Amino acid sequence: MMVESEERQALRAAVRKLGLKYGREYYLGKARTGGKTTELWREAGQLGYLGVHIPEEFGGGGGGIGDLAAVCEELAAAGCPLGLIVVSPAICATVIYRFGTDDQRKKWLPGLIDGALKFAFAITEPEAGSNSHRLKTVATLEGGEWILDGRKTFISFVDEADAVLVVARTADATTGKLKPALFVVPVDAPGFEKQLIPMELVAPDKQFTLFLDGVRLPADALVGSDDAGLAQLFAGLNPERITAAAFATGLARQALERAVDYAKTRQVWDVPIGAHQAIAHPLAVAHINVELARLMTQKAAALYDSGDDFGAGESANMAKYSAGEAAIAAIDTAIQTHGGNGLSTEYGLASMLAGARLIRLAPVSREMILNFVAQNTLGLPKSY
């Protein structure tokens, strides 16, 4: 049995208190008026929650990715799901502190830790989809400068970001083959343009297509080494999946809490509706599945924090898969518990369903996770 430390439990309680200070109405109000959760983000940063996983030597809290996942989960459970945590602190700050130069750490980590800086992350391309081997965004070194050309799509938070950590490909000097590398691209760089993708999600988060047309960057825009691209990429993607799983279970907990309260108080016949097994059992099943997903998320975080990147990859994929499925089922069950009220604006559940449904697709699709487990865990032949 995995029991969290007293420090982790205290962190959860403190973050939940912060989330409840703002609450679901604050979040939905921002989402429906085109606003941003800037005040909550800044306070979370000032309290040290956004950099809790970064070592103290770089100005962070000295914890692990499990602590950041707890922050992400508790804010979502309190009605304020901050998806940017999955990107800016989890991916970008992690990659920079693990692979960045001393100058890069000094330049970017303080702002990422206290929330003054926000980074987006761009890997997905229109023609590549889930096949990262087909990425066409290319970085060319000319006269001491990098020149980026390419296109990215379904990139989140670009309208809030100061810069985007872009996955591009550079030419290997010996083989001529293209290999992945990561670059910090300021959103105001000449040649960088964004185009909004209209979505049906009720959230402050927006999605964009990016156009990089001859974007010139200084040599130090390359994070770490152009020879460590894959290692750097996976160092960021595992935390992404762990925090995405935490995000999903937080959403599920929020929905179940509302459904349980409703089932205890709503009375149609002689007893509250929660006394009927047709209501109680689906809620119990949903709770069980959410708790199982939370446990796998904790396992993935523990493996990652122990330095086991491969083991963390397997568990992070499983955590993200199980959390996405559990969240969708939990929110759907919560809606069903409320009957017609479950689709009303007043109860705020229907708006959660699209957000949870997104977890099946991103940051990695359910099908690609199943491919990973089939091939790497079960040893089955590759199908693609």
Q: In whole angstroms, give the CA distance from residue 44 to residue 154.
A: 26
The class that CATH gives domain 6-118 is mainly alpha
Helices H, strands E: what count in the chain? Answer: 11, 7
Cis peptide before 363 (omega within 30 of 0): yes
CATH superfamily label, 121-221:
Butyryl-CoA Dehydrogenase, subunit A, domain 2 (2.40.110.10)
Nearest to 80 by CA among 275, 258, 250: 250
pLDDT of residue 134: 76
pLDDT of residue 383: 82
Phi, psi of 60 (to 5 degrees): -90, -170
Low-confidence ranges of the chain (pLDDT < 50): 1
8 A C-beta contact, residue 96 and residue 58: no
Domain spans of the chain, in order of start: 6-118, 121-221, 229-377
pLDDT of residue 1: 44
Q: In whole angstroms, give the CA distance from residue 350 to residue 342.
A: 6
Q: In whole angstroms, give the CA distance from residue 91 to residue 199.
A: 24
The fold adopted by the segment(s) 229-377 is Butyryl-CoA Dehydrogenase, subunit A; domain 3 (1.20.140)
pLDDT of residue 229: 63
pLDDT of residue 182: 94
Q: In whole angstroms, give the CA distance from residue 176 to residue 169.
A: 11
In this structure, which amino acid lies at residue 85? I
Please give the structure tokens belonging to residue 303: 């493996």
Q: In whole angstroms, give the CA distance from residue 253 to residue 248.
A: 9
| E strand map for the chain | 119-122, 138-142, 145-156, 163-171, 178-186, 192-197, 207-218
SS3 assignment, position 189: coil
Q: In whole angstroms, give the CA distance from residue 66 to residue 63.
A: 8
